Amino acid sequence: MFWEENKIMVTGGKGFLGSHLVGKLKDSGCRQVFAPEQDKYDLREKDAITRAFEESRPDIVFHLSAKVGGIGANLRFPAEFFYDNMLMGIQVMEYARVYNVKKFVALGTVCAYPKSTRVPFKEDDLWKGYPEETNAPYGLAKKMLLVQAQAYRKQYGFNAIYLLPANLYGPGDNFTLEGSHVIPAMIKKFFEAVRNKEDEVTLWGTGKATREFLYVEDCADAIILAAEKYNKLEPVNIGSGMEISIRDLARLIADISGFQGKVLWDRSRPDGQPRRRLDISRAQKEFGFRAKTRFREGLQKTVDWYKATFQAE
Query: Which residues are annotated as catalytic?
Result: 138
Cα–Cα distance for residue pair 57/68, rounded to 1 Å: 27
Q: What does 153-184 look like in DSSP terms, one character per residue?
A: HHHH---EEEEEE-EEESTT----TTT--HHH
For the chain, the residue count is: 313
3-class secondary-structure state, position 67: coil
Whole-number CA gyration radius for the chain:
19
Residue type, 246: I
Between helices 136-156 and 78-98, what is the axis angle to 10°? 20
168 phi, psi to nearest 5 deg: -95, 155
**Sheet containing strand 160-165, strands side by side:** 33-34, 8-11, 60-63, 103-107, 160-165, 236-238
